[in-house]
């Protein structure tokens, strides 16, 4: 053996080779024998059974199971209606004489373990409908609601109601701006079933929205046993239904809306006609752009140009008419009040991703309007148009004319939103009340326009929620059109005019005021709705407080 091999450490096998000369200190000395028990193991345990004792055999045929498997006596279909965990959570009972929106919203704000199980419903078939078909129906209903402008929380409540109506209690819906998903897990040991659907197109049709709400209401009614095939049939009819108003009625409504808005800011008959003509031209140009496939940003840009051009033309022709009222009336017909209210509502209820997307959409629309008006005002100022940004301070208070104009504005706004005819009268009166409160606080009381707008919008939300609860329908048809008279059209116009005249600081201040008014409208509408839910019947039963939305105080 070489020296290198002598220095190399031996392996475990080499070191473990038996050497008879090496003995262990635990080895038995030679000549000593240890008696062995007959048939008994050398190593015994204190838990070993004594000799002569036989344990009774276990039940034959029952394999060894897992700690996570369900007991043999448990069946998911025969599960108890509710349970009380070790922490002492009381049994929650939801009353049936409240709208399904409130009941589903309350359960969505509960942990999954605390939600009461759905009641048994009689089925004509031995087995219930297939889970994938129920999830598909749920996603299709949620798609129509989200595309129609409904808030994310109400969409989740509707999806949850559809699932529970077919006995799927362990389901979790999730709503974002363009994606709907839902997951159902039959039990803790079963694999979940998930489905998703993308919302690619959005359109404003409150008649379709109301029909979907009626369908969900019928599905949630325990006395109305609506089969899955019947629900699919009604949903197909809702999707096939045409809009209740033809195109020429929508164009005329756009013109009347702009004319009524011009009267709100001090316009006369000439201004009314000019604003109506400009808005109708803008509406037709926007439809032409939509037919050519242009994005909505350019549609808003093009639609904002004709009213501004007519206002500048009247000023250049030295016609005794307020050009600012003409342009402001055209802006009222374009401001995205519906998307703004929905975006702020989603943010206040904890759906921050959807709220961010909707507010970003509102910002793009607003920038499109700004670009269209600024282009016309820039050329008008260079051509010598005498447009006065301080004209906003000279708006006169004409209560009767303005109340009538506000009601006409709300009525035409309801037509543009494709509302059902029975709801048009209610929202028209709601708009008149909103402007009356705003005028009494701002013009008579001398309060700031932001505070006056917030209070008036709060009353709109309160009355809209009461009307929707009375009819078990969505609150949007009763609130969206009613906030039309409160939209910041004049502040937006005068801010853009100041920027066109190189008074950027003054223009930015006016635009900031417009943004404050818009936020006051959205927050006021949501606050009025929450107040109505807070003081009316609590859907959680006696002793159950209403759960907060998503999080409380940031935790």
Per DSSP, what are the bridge partners of residue 108?
none
CA dihedral 463, 465, 468, 472 (to 10 degrees): -140
DSSP per-residue codes, 278-344 = HHHHHHHHHHHHHHTT--HHHHHHHHHHHHHHHHHHHHHTT-SS-HHHHHHHHHHTT--HHHHHHHH
Q: pLDDT value at position 140?
A: 92
Domain locations in the chain?
100-240, 247-535
HSE, CB side, 13 Å, CA atoms: give it for residue 533.
24
Q: Any long-range contacts for 274-277 (C-beta under 8 Å, 24+ apart)?
A: 274/310, 274/311, 274/314, 274/321, 274/326, 275/307, 275/310, 275/325, 275/326, 275/329, 275/330, 276/329, 277/310
Q: pLDDT value at position 137?
A: 92
Q: pLDDT value at position 139?
A: 93
Q: pLDDT value at position 486?
A: 84
pLDDT mean for each 10 residues of the chain (555 residues) = 50 48 59 54 57 57 50 49 47 52 61 58 52 90 88 87 84 88 83 87 83 87 81 88 83 90 84 90 90 87 90 84 82 79 80 87 86 86 71 64 88 88 88 88 84 87 80 78 81 76 81 83 79 60 46 43
Q: Provide the angle, in degrees to the nearest 10, between the axes of the packed helices 504-535 and 489-500.
A: 160
Per DSSP, what are the bridge partners of residue 184?
171, 193
| Rg of the chain taking only CA atoms, in angstroms | 35
Are 334 and 325 a contacting pair, CB within 8 Å?
Answer: no
Distant-in-sequence, close-in-space partners of 211: CB < 8 Å, separation ≥ 6: 238, 241
HSE, CB side, 13 Å, CA atoms: give it for residue 537.
15
HSE, CB side, 13 Å, CA atoms: give it for residue 174.
12
Beta 193-198 vs 179-184: how paired, if at all? antiparallel
Q: pLDDT value at position 552?
A: 44
* Of residues 540, 477, 175, the one with CA closest to residue 355: 175
Q: Where are the alpha helices (DSSP H) in 417-448?
A: 421-439
- Residue 170 to residue 138: CA distance in whole angstroms: 14
Q: pLDDT value at position 542?
A: 39
- Residue 154 to residue 144: CA distance in whole angstroms: 12
Per DSSP, what are the bridge partners of residue 179?
198
DSSP per-residue codes, 172-241 = EEEE-SSEEEEEE-SSTTSPPEEEEEE-------HHHHHHHHHHHHHHH-TT----HHHHHHHHHHHHHP
Q: pLDDT value at position 277?
A: 92
Burial 141-157 (b: 16+ CB within 10 A, else e): bbbbbbbbbbbbbbbbb
Are 465 and 448 a contacting pair, CB within 8 Å?
Answer: no
Q: What is the pTM of this model?
A: 0.69
């Amino acid at each position: 053996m070489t020296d290198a091999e002598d220095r190399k450490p031996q392996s475990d096998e080499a070191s473990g080779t038996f050497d008879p000369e090496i003995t262990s200190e635990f080895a038995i000395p030679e000549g000593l024998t240890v008696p062995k028990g007959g048939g008994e193991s050398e190593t015994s345990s204190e838990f070993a059974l004594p000799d002569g004792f036989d344990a009774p055999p276990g039940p034959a045929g029952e394999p060894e199971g897992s700690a996570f498997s369900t007991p043999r006596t448990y069946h998911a279909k025969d599960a108890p209606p509710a349970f009380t965990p070790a922490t002492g959570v009381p049994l929650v009972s939801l009353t049936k004489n409240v709208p399904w929106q409130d009941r589903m919203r309350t359960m969505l704000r509960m942990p999954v373990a605390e939600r009461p199980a759905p009641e048994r419903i009689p089925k004509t078939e031995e087995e219930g409908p297939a889970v994938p078909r129920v999830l598909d129906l749920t996603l299709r209903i949620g798609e129509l609601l989200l595309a129609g402008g409904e808030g994310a929380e109400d969409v989740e409540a509707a999806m949850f109601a559809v699932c529970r109506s077919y006995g799927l209690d362990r389901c979790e819906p999730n709503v974002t701006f363009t994606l709907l998903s839902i997951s159902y897990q039959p039990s803790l040991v079963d694999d979940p079933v998930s489905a998703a659907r993308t919302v690619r197109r959005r359109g404003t049709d409150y008649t379709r929205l109301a029909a979907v709400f009626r369908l969900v209401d019928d599905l949630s009614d325990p006395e109305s046993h609506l089969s899955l095939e019947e629900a699919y049939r009604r949903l197909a009819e809702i999707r096939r239904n045409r809009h209740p108003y033809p195109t020429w009625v929508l164009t005329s409504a756009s013109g009347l809306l702009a004319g009524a808005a011009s009267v709100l800011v001090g316009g006369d008959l000439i201004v009314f006609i000019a604003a109506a003509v400009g808005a109708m031209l803008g509406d037709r140009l926007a439809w032409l752009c939509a037919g050519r496939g242009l994005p909505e940003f350019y549609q808003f840009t093009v639609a904002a140009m004709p009213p501004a051009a007519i206002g500048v033309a009247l000023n250049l022709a030295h016609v005794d008419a307020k050009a600012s009222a003409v342009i402001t009336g055209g802006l009222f017909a374009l401001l995205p009040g519906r998307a703004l209210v929905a975006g702020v509502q989603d943010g206040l209820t904890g759906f921050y991703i959807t709220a961010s997307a909707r507010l970003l959409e509102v910002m793009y629309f607003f920038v499109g309007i700004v670009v269209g008006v600024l282009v016309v005002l820039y050329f008008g100022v260079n051509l010598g148009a005498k447009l006065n940004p301080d004209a906003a301070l000279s708006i006169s208070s004409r209560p009767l004319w303005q109340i009538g104009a506000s009601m006409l504005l709300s009525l035409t706004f309801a037509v543009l939103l494709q509302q059902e005819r029975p709801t048009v009268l209610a929202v028209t009166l709601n708009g008149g009340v909103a402007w009356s409160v705003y005028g009494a606080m701002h013009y008579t009381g001398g309060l700031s326009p932001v505070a006056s707008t917030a209070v008036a919008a709060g009353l709109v939300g309160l009355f809209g929620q009461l009307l929707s609860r009375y009819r078990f329908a969505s609150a949007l048809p009763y609130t969206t059109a009613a906030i039309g008279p409160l939209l910041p059209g004049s502040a937006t116009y005068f801010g853009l005019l100041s920027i066109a005249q190189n008074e950027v600081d003054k223009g930015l201040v006016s635009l900031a005021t417009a943004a404050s008014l818009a936020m006051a409208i959205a927050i006021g509408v949501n606050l009025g709705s929450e107040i109505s839910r807070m003081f009316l019947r609590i859907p959680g039963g006696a002793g159950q407080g209403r759960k907060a939305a998503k999080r409380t105080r940031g935790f």
